[in-house]
Structure 1
């Protein structure tokens, strides 16, 4: 070898060494700084894992941020790792004796993947299973998302499977989170609207078995419980008050087969309760599928004719425009009236406007609507939020059947004046409308969600309180509140009177198609009558009348939710 070749060889050696130094330094850095981390990841790749929660998702909480509306709970369950159980037949036999179940019923769980069994355990059974000492067989508490009596089922929604490969691909494009066909996803309500935020990348708590290539437990590691891992899930914090929601649902279970109840905080437009009947249990959707076709319908956001509750809008417009004074006198001829028949068939005769409001006299409001004209009535209805189906944080698609402009079509104005004909509203909208009267004529957009927070309790996004707008003057609002008090003190809404607190509101009885004697019975009102705290709207489908059917439900709910304030 020549000197020239030797020099070139030395230069090549140093060049290669120079190029490899950064790589060697980097590998050394990884070994020193991240060695344990990569070692742990390598172990985890060979491990077997069981999620200690049935559905890894963020929670849906009430306004306190502490109480899950799903009413989830922890229950002891048998956790099995079939791959590391050496004598499966013996394990099945022992478990069969403890659980009191047939061996063939249990055997299939020992042939599949690691998981937990669907059988409830009492304290004695849990102790006996632990005492078997069988590696790969253990008892752990599993968190179940839905408890036996979840709240606000229609608002929270329910989960279901991903039905096909195309939908799986759409879910995987939501925003970085990976889905499998075996995952459960939101099908309705908040579970659906916030699917991408609620979904967890992995379980918060899990049991992990560290095994070697032969599926033997690694000495010193064995099976470990991993808690409080960051999973990428977010919680939804609503405005619902769990105590108020429970009270509402209890009353509805006793008195309302079909209908809705909405409770709003009069101070800020927050929705404190939304309950719909018929109900369903999201923990077991299959039980509800053969039931009523409206079981999964959220009646709180569905469209209905409001009946005489719409007279609040007519009265507000007529007072604001100076077309009527409380003492003005009208004549009601009952069912013979030339404009529209009155529910009081013999007629009220001469009647003042304030009495007509208290007694819900149809001809008087038909006459006022004609004086107002359709155009102005439409403007006021819209200003009171009866054309906005928006609820902050709850993006329910709007129902295009709602069109206050139809009031202006020929022959519609008279029927519209009593909340029939083309007038369609939701219980939430009527609640917000009444709240505008309570708040001196200021309409506040309803809100259902306060924000989204991460696993450390930090809010990642906020939904501010609803925007507001002046609808009527303070003077008109004050007069309306006085008239609404007359309804419960000496009018058709006496059954809604709340002792000790006072209440006010308006009845509604919306006729049903087909000439049925039944009506959709309404009451929408507030309490206490001085410094109102809550607005409550009650809808009972196929009732007798607003005063006879819905008003007593209103009173019972108000008595329950006002008591803690007292």
Structure 2
């Protein structure tokens, strides 16, 4: 009897434990993991077709994207879900403006889906198995900063190339088709969704300002410029705009592969003879090393002979007796060759390197670093070419803007930078990229004098940069680098800053084969400066 009672108690305990276990399991499945299993149940009735690999975006400094800005509508069809392929082909043909027979051939293939760009909108209800989706376009006809952003495809260029591993997230967008148990038809009311995998997408945050970049590019296009323009934030060294012309279509790279028009060349970071804008460096060296003072005078006869090599002023014009300030304002070659001789090539070359010429600043895009002559090449007539920015002296438009920014920043150089951080889709900085340390190039006293000299270029009645003056007050230096004396061809330059009293932006303009700096580059400086100061 006792054994029987023991067995009954034991069975009751076991049954109680099993019942409690079952109750807990049901609670766990239905309450705790309810959403998870519901999702799994739905996923069993989903067919997914990969349509797009999501790539990280490239942003400006305010997280305004340069990429994936526009969407394009496409019409999709899933052949296995179509009951009347001929009718479907006719619908697609009308909407996509493609040959009906070609569409029908695709629908009869073994493809998971077919896709066509929507050309005409239709208000008619689409048959089951056909639907429309808007997909992001990496580049559009209005894309900005193309020489900086670059492109991605079989070949890569620009930031797209440098940060390819970071931008290439492998997140996939798929068409999620809700089907019945046979996977051959829609579940009523569910239809088609765009499904995104959960992989993290990282982007690149640049220093560029979308609105300033647009203002610069609009000005270059309006004036049909073959050249470049750069805008720097004087207080930080951030590159706010960098544009080069001629431009190219990021969606049609093949069209330019055999072109000789230099569409792929980023002229903003390519080196060219600077001409008279290099006189800024000459003046800086002369003042900083106490070789020349503002009271010293020089006689300009319109030409200057060094060992049988004759250097001429523009159109052989004679300026008479002038000091360095006046010589800078009228861009007198004779005066600055004499200043160069007094200052010495060694001091000039040292100053040029302090300003960043021949320095690799580590930009994340290909950049030429400029070129200076060897000291041995500056002996004799070589000092003449050095003093007027000709011969072996080469500089990039970015470096020209950098020099103007350094002077406007009271002699301290903020090394230019283009990218600040790796960010997630919410704009949170995942990794902050370091900037090279700032350093002093010239004394505050020398910088103040040079700022005044650059102002005279714009306001002096005979100044070469009068066309660069703005309502905010401009300062800068013109350059006309001789390309062909016989054909009277020059590269036109202007580099300077605005506003004069409280400098904010340094801007350099380069116009290839564009006449003189005062004629072509200075007005463009004014146009861009006036526009971006509105911001």
Same fold flag (TM > 0.5) = yes
Tell me the distance in 2 between the aligned counterparts of 1:256 and 1:525.
21
Shift of the 407–105 alpha-carbon distance from structure 1 to 2, 3 Å rule, reads: farther
Q: CA deviation at 1:505?
A: 0.1
Partners of 2:218 and 2:478 in 1: CA distance: 22
Displacement, 1:410?
A: 4.7
CA deviation after TM superposition for structure 1 residue 496, in Å: 0.7
Give the direction of change, closer, same or farther, for the CA distance of 1:96–1:270 in structure 2 (3 Å limit): same
- Deviation per CA, 1:131-184, whole angstroms, max 9, x where unpaired? 13x2221012221121220001100101222xxxxxxxxxxxxxxxxxxxxxxx
* Pick aligned residue for 1:352 from 323, 332, 339: 323
Name the SS for the 1:477 alignment partner: helix
Match of 1:506 in 2: 477
Within the candidate set 405, 410, 418, 1:440 is matched to 410
In structure 2, the residue matched to 1:497 is 469
- Whole-angstrom distance in 2 between the partners of 1:461 and 1:515: 54
**2:285 is matched with which residue: 296, 317, 322?**
317
After superposing the two structures, state which structure 1 stretch, 276-285 or 294-303, moved more: 276-285
Q: Does 1:461 align with 2:460?
A: no
The answer as to whether partners of 1:251 and 1:553 remain within 8 angstroms in 2 is yes
Specify the alignment match of 1:11 in structure 2. Answer: none
Question: How far off its partner does 1:191 sit?
Answer: 0.7
Query: Contact conserved, 1:327 with 1:354, CA < 8 A, in 2?
Result: no
Shift of 1:291: 4.0
Within 1, Cα distance between the matches of 2:182 and 2:487? Answer: 73
Distance in 2 (CA, whole Å) between partners of 1:187 and 1:41 is 40
Q: 1:299 to 1:115 in 2, by over 3 A?
A: farther
Q: Against the structure 1 CA distance between its residues 351 and 452, is the aligned structure 2 distance closer, same or farther, given a 3 Å change threshold?
A: same
* Correspondence 1:429 to 2:399: yes
- Equivalent runs, 1:121-160 vs 2, <5 Å: 121-122=120-121, 125=122, 127-128=123-124, 131-132=125-126, 134-160=127-153
| 2:496 match: secondary structure | strand
2:529 is equivalent to residue 558 of structure 1? yes
Give the secondary structure class of the aligned counterpart of 2:507. Answer: strand
What's 1:169 paired with?
Answer: none
Equivalent in the alignment of 1:473? 443
8 Å CA contact 2:235–2:414 kept in 1: the answer is: no
Quickly say closer, same or farther: Cα 1:104–1:291, change in 2 above 3 A: farther
Partner SS for 1:512: strand
Aligned CA-pair RMSD: 2.8
SS in structure 1 at match of 2:220: helix
The answer to whether the aligner puts 1:253 opposite 2:252 as a matched pair is no
| Structure-2 residue corresponding to 1:301 | 269
Aligned partner of residue 549 in structure 1, secondary structure: helix
**Residue correspondence of structure 1 range 31-46 to structure 2 within 5 A:** 36=37, 39=40, 43=44
- Which whole-Å CA distance do the structure 2 matches of 1:544 and 1:324 have between them? 31
Match of 1:191 in 2: 160
Query: 1:189–1:501: structure 2 CA closer, same or farther, 3 Å change rule?
Result: same
Range with bigger deviation, 485-494 or 100-109: 100-109
Q: Give yes or no for contact 2:148–2:365 (8 Å, CA) kept in 1.
A: no
User: Shift of the alpha carbon at 1:542?
Assistant: 0.8
The answer as to whether partners of 2:96 and 2:119 remain within 8 angstroms in 1 is: no
Q: How far off its partner does 1:48 sit?
A: 3.0
Q: CA deviation at 1:560?
A: 0.9
Q: Which residue of 1 aligns with 2:12?
A: none
Identify which of 237, 243, 248 aligns with 2:205. 237
Task: Report the counterpart of residue 103 of structure 1 in structure 2.
Answer: 100
SS of equivalent to 2:513: strand
Aligned partners of 2:140, 2:366: CA distance in 1, in Å? 29
Q: Offset of 1:474 from its aligned partner?
A: 0.4
> For 1:271-290, what aligned pairs fall within 5 Å after superposition?
271-289=239-257
| Corresponding position of 2:364 | 395
The counterpart of 2:488, out of the listed 517, 522, 534, is: 517
In 1, are the aligned partners of 2:171 and 2:196 still within 8 Å (CA)?
A: no
Q: Who is 1:177 aligned against?
A: none
2:511 equivalent in structure 1: 540
Give the drift of 1:330.
0.3
Q: Which residue of 2 aligns with 1:49?
A: 49
Aligned length: 500
1:99 Cα deviation after fit: 4.6
Q: Is the 8 A contact 1:407 1:423 kept in 2?
A: no
Report the CA distance between 1:206 and its aligned residue: 3.6
| Superposed CA offset, 1:341-377 (max 9, x none) | 2114142121111110101111221122222222221
Provide the residue aligned with 2:300 in structure 1: 332
Normalised to the residue count of structure 2, the TM-score between the two structures is 0.86
CA deviations over 1:489-524 (Å, ceiling 9, x no partner): 0111101111x2110000011111584311110000
SS, match of residue 363 in structure 1: helix
Match of 1:404 in 2: 372
Tell me the TM-score normalised to structure 1 length: 0.82
How far apart, CA to CA, are the structure 1 residues paired with 2:329 and 2:68?
Answer: 42
In the aligned structure 2, how far is the partner of 1:189 from the partner of 1:30?
Answer: 51
Cα 1:93/1:344, change in 2 over 3 Å: closer
CA–CA separation in structure 1 for the residues paired with 2:118 and 2:194: 23
Structure-1 separation of matches of 2:436 and 2:468: 29
- Structure 1, unaligned stretches of length 5 or more? 1-28, 162-185
1:176 is matched with: none
For residues 89 and 43 of structure 1, the distance between their equivalents in structure 2, rounded to whole angstroms, comes to 30
Q: 1:74 aligns with which of 63, 66, 71?
A: 71
Write the distance in 2 (CA, Å) between the matches of 1:444 and 1:40.
Answer: 59
Deviation at 1:237, TM superposition (A): 1.2
Question: 8 Å contact 2:230–2:401 — kept in the other structure?
Answer: yes
Structure 1 CA distance, aligned partners of 2:371 and 2:502?
Answer: 34
